[in-house]
Amino acid sequence: MNWIKNFLGRSKNGRSDQQQVPQNDKPESAQSKAFEVMLDEGVTYGEAIAKVTDGANLVDGKHTWELAGSHKHDINAMKRCCDAEIKTYRITGDSPAPYYFLLVAILSRKQKNYAQEVQYCEHYLDLVRECYKRDDMPLETALKERRLNATDSTIYERLPKARELLEKSKNISFGGD
């Protein structure tokens, strides 16, 4: 890991030799603390985030990505992964991973739980809007300029159909009125 520190121009105290900033002038973000942990301990970003956020990105002691394969058909596990992604986002500012939200939407539709599908799609897109708002960019502009990743776009495109199915299910359950 020393070669990384050298490459980045960091001294032993973790600061750039050109920028000796007093430590109390500006509090470190969770991200910068995570990068420090990565450099100092040689761990992955996910492991470092778990350490600096007291495990916000963990579900049942595992990283969300560890559950992505083994529990992808377990809607409750995927909902807990969504919660962990949201919690981590609130602490770090890192965009939540869309995969878990999409899986909850897919599994909800299979269960004909359209309200839950709409809820998870809308909630995820609200979080994405927050992220783009930091850059003064509306979500719709990001879509037009193709700045969203494929899963973000899939969730965005899924939402109108989910709303339509929800409306139809309400009409059926209320006798078509």
34, 7: one domain: yes
Of 52, 80, 95, which marks where a domain is finished? 52
The per-residue pLDDT for range 67-122, each reduced to its tens digit, is 998 999 999 999 999 999 999 999 998 889 999 999 999 999 999 999 999 999 99
- CA–CA separation, 12 vs 6, rounded Å? 10
Q: How confident is the model at residue 1 (pLDDT cuts 50, 70, 90)?
A: very low
64, 26: one domain: no
- CA–CA separation, 36 vs 17, rounded Å? 15
Radius of gyration of the chain measured on its C-alpha atoms: 20
Does the global pTM surpass 0.85? no
3, 73: one domain: no
Cβ(116)–Cβ(78) below 8 Å: no
Output 67 or 9, whichever has higher pLDDT.
67
159, 90: one domain: yes
State the angle between helix axes of 98-110 and 114-134 in degrees (0 to 180), rounded to the nearest 10. 160
30, 91: one domain: no
Output 144 or 18, whichever has higher pLDDT.
144
Cβ(27)–Cβ(35) below 8 Å: no
29, 92: one domain: no
- CA–CA separation, 49 vs 34, rounded Å? 5
Of 52, 71, 95, which marks where a domain is finished? 52
How much is the pLDDT for 137?
77
How much is the pLDDT for 14?
44
43, 98: one domain: no
- If you write DSSP's letter for every residue of 19-85 in order, what string do you get? ----TTSSPPPHHHHHHHHHHHH---HHHHHHHHTTSTTEETTEEHHHHHHHTTT-HHHHHHHHHHH
Determine the structural domain holding residue 14 and report its residue range: 1-52
47, 115: one domain: no
46, 63: one domain: no
Query: What is the number of domains present in the chain?
Result: 2
41, 115: one domain: no
How much is the pLDDT for 55?
92
How much is the pLDDT for 18?
36
3, 67: one domain: no
Tokens, residue 21 = 């900033």
- CA–CA separation, 113 vs 162, rounded Å? 10
19, 99: one domain: no
